[in-house]
Amino acid sequence: MLKKIAKKRKIKKEYWQVTLLFLPGVIFFSLFTLYPIVKLFIMSFYEYKIGALKESTFVGLHNYIQVISDEISQAAVVNTLIYALITVPGQIVLGLLIAVFINKLSKAKVFFRVLYYFPVITSWVIVSVLFRYIFQNEGYLNYLIFSMLEVEPVHWLETRMSSLAVLSIIGIWKGIGWSMTVFIAALTAVPLELYEVAEVDGSNSIKNFFYITLPSIRNTILFTFVMLTIGAFNTFTPVKLMTDGKPLHQTEFVLTWMYKNAFEFRNMGYSAALSFTVGLLISIIAIIQFNYFKKA
């Protein structure tokens, strides 16, 4: 009887200890993550006014209808999708190839890891300003083109498709290092016995890559796909600093358009509706990716 009472007291003590350890995290998550999400969702149904003396008007689904029908928001979503379709496969393919190359090296592995990872830790602001200088009308690239080919300068950042191309190049260049690091970790977990058996059977490096390496790291590829897709939809700084949506909002991304509506046009309800619409779109894309990799 005494043992049962002592055991119950011990369980109760451990329960309160665990609760006290969890409580700060739960409070922090509730205040700074859960509450803002709920508040933002409520805002999306209002013509929201900032200030205690201003009254917000309930508009129902009007903001969502406006988001769907607005040509600029449609262009922003399309631009972001194009950016994702270019940068996500680009980062995965190049990151995986570099990871395979580094994984096979016997020397200088650390050097190449640092070399390719350096752009990842470089500030987006610095990178954006640097590439803006390179690609602007009087920039270094146009100077080289004119001096070598004697042709008219290319307006890289003044048309929609050329701007998306430049932004995609930056996104791939800056993100390869992250993909490389993830894939190197996955490659080290692939059993070497599989490659040894394949060599005995007369397999070559290309066959090993497609029939051993890729199937072994399939879950890592899925994880990378999902994370890079989310990252593509979170692109803000390079667009804001290099094109700022110009000309005529043709190079807007979802975050830049969301930012302008919230903090420049003070259209908080529309911006909130746009954020949840984009969140739903990302969730649908992630589900499609999961289902595709399960069937593959």
> HEC profile for 9-66?
HHHHHHHHHHHHHHHHHHHHHHHHHHHHHHHHHHHCCEECCCCCCCCCEECCCHHHHH
Residue 16 shares a structural domain with residue 92: no
94 and 192 inside one domain:
yes
The most confident of the ranges 17-21, 41-45, 292-296 is 41-45
Structural domain includes residue 57: no
- The burial class, CB within 10 Å (0-12 / 13-18 / 19+), for 232 is buried
Strand partners, 57: 47
20-78 tens-digit pLDDT: 888 888 899 999 999 999 999 999 999 888 776 678 888 999 999 999 999 999 999 99
Co-location of 101 and 25 in the same domain:
no
Residue 290 lies in a domain: yes
Question: In 3-state terms, what secondary structure has residue 157?
Answer: coil
Q: Which residues are within 8 A (CB) of 146 and not within 5 positions of it... i.e. 6 or more apart?
A: 152, 153
Number of domains forming the structure of the chain: 2
Same domain assignment for residues 28 and 93: no
Alpha-carbon distances, residue 41 vs 29, 51, 61, 132, 285 (angstroms): 17, 18, 12, 36, 21
In a domain, 161, yes or no: yes
Report yes or no on 56 lying in a domain: no
pTM, entire model: 0.88
pLDDT at 276: 93
Same domain, 15 and 109: no
- pLDDT exceeds 60 at position 218: yes
Question: Is residue 220 located within the same domain as residue 164?
Answer: yes
Indicate whether 290 pLDDT > 90: no
**Segments forming the whole domain that contains residue 31:** 2-43
DSSP state of 153: P
What would the two tokens of residue 73 be?
């928001």
Residue 50 lies in a domain: no
pLDDT in tens, 146-187: 777 777 777 888 889 999 999 999 999 999 999 999 999 999
Looking at the fold, whether 207 and 289 belong to one and the same domain comes out as yes
Q: For the residues 271-282, what does the mean pLDDT come to? A: 93
